[in-house]
Amino acid sequence: VIILKNQEFQDRTEAQTDIEDRGYTFGDGVYEVIRIYNGTYFMLPEHLNRLQFSLDETAISYHVKNEGLEELLHQLLIKNEIENGAIYLQITRGIAPRKHPYPQKTQPQLYAYPIPVSSPVEAQKNGASLTLIEDKRWLRCDIKSLNLLWNVMAKQQAQENGHFEALLYRDENHITEGSSSNFFAIQDGKVITHPANHFILNGITRLAVKQVCEKLDVPFEERILSIRDLDHIEEAFVASTTAEVVPITAIDQRKVGTGETGHVTRRIQTGFKEL
Ligand code: PDD
């Protein structure tokens, strides 16, 4: 495996990092997971835009265009001969003795490398279940930050209890998103999802779903759902780079709609595949 470290390519076995990288000490960094299908990146410009947004919001002085990152990522894909898979990319503020304020002189540290991904084929086909877990993350979920502790804890709890994913809520009137995916409900034939603000990550797959809905003439509405709303939805699904589109047939004890994958969800799944 070949990895990209800043501007250089190295073998995975030679790649090293520093214990004082602020990514380790403070989680002071941002990341992306980018899918590759048939030897090409999926929605790369959108991922790079979001990466630049995360960098700007955290004042990490790395400029995606100036560094020629897009070209470097293309080389990374070719060097690793990836047909289908994903790249994990992270940029930390840099290496410096452990003090909270931003260090004066430090170079942001970038790593990008292939990670194994496999689409959850069974869940995509037969549907999956969610479990409600309180959203105890900070209030800048729009930044794709390395601080994923609550996401990890929620996912673990969900999977230990036999669920595909956690469905996070701030309070009973405010469902946000999954621990590593966006959540969509279908009510009166409309696709409803949380507005893209600081409560959620503005998913690239969410963007793709929005495009697919436009193409299919399915109304797409950005609005906050309550827990009670879940009793009245017809269908639901979650979407992310790794999961793609997964139909949700149950949320804890509740059946979603008929308890089977809905036909609007199927059309969106198919539309996504075509995209
Ligand atoms: N997670 N919401 C959260 C909290 C996420 O972590 C993710 C993605 C998404 C979906 O975003 P996208 O469609 O851009 O993948 C929503 C990535 C895949 C991860 O951490 O592995």
CATH number, domain with residue 32: 3.30.470.10
Residues 143 and 56 in one domain: no
Label residue 28 by pLDDT band (50, 70, 90). Answer: very high
Residues 109 and 125 in one domain: no
Q: Which of 181, 194, 202, 275 to mutate to test the pocket of ligand 1 (most atoms within 8 A of CB)?
A: 181
Q: What are the tens digits of pLDDT across the range 127-157? A: 999 999 999 999 999 999 999 999 999 999 9
CATH number at residue 258: 3.20.10.10
Q: How many residues comprise the chain? A: 275
Residues 132 and 263 in one domain: yes
Query: Mean of the pLDDT values across residues 36-53?
Result: 98
Q: What are the tens digits of pLDDT across the range 160-177? A: 999 999 999 999 999 999
Closest residue CA from atom 12 of ligand 1:
203
Residues 208 and 239 in one domain: yes
Tell me how far the alpha carbon of residue 181 lies from the centroid of ligand 1, in angstroms: 5
Closest residue CA from atom 20 of ligand 1:
180
Look at residues 115, 147, 162 and tell me which one is the last residue of a structural domain.
115
Counted domains in the chain: 2
The position carrying tokens 């979650």 is 238
Residues 106 and 228 in one domain: no
Residues 140 and 266 in one domain: yes
Q: Which residues are catalytic?
A: 144
User: Residue 239: which of 251, 247, 227 has the closest Cα?
Assistant: 247
Label residue 43 by pLDDT band (50, 70, 90). Answer: very high
* Dihedral sign from CA coordinates of 149, 152, 154, 156: negative
Residue 178, domain extent: 121-274
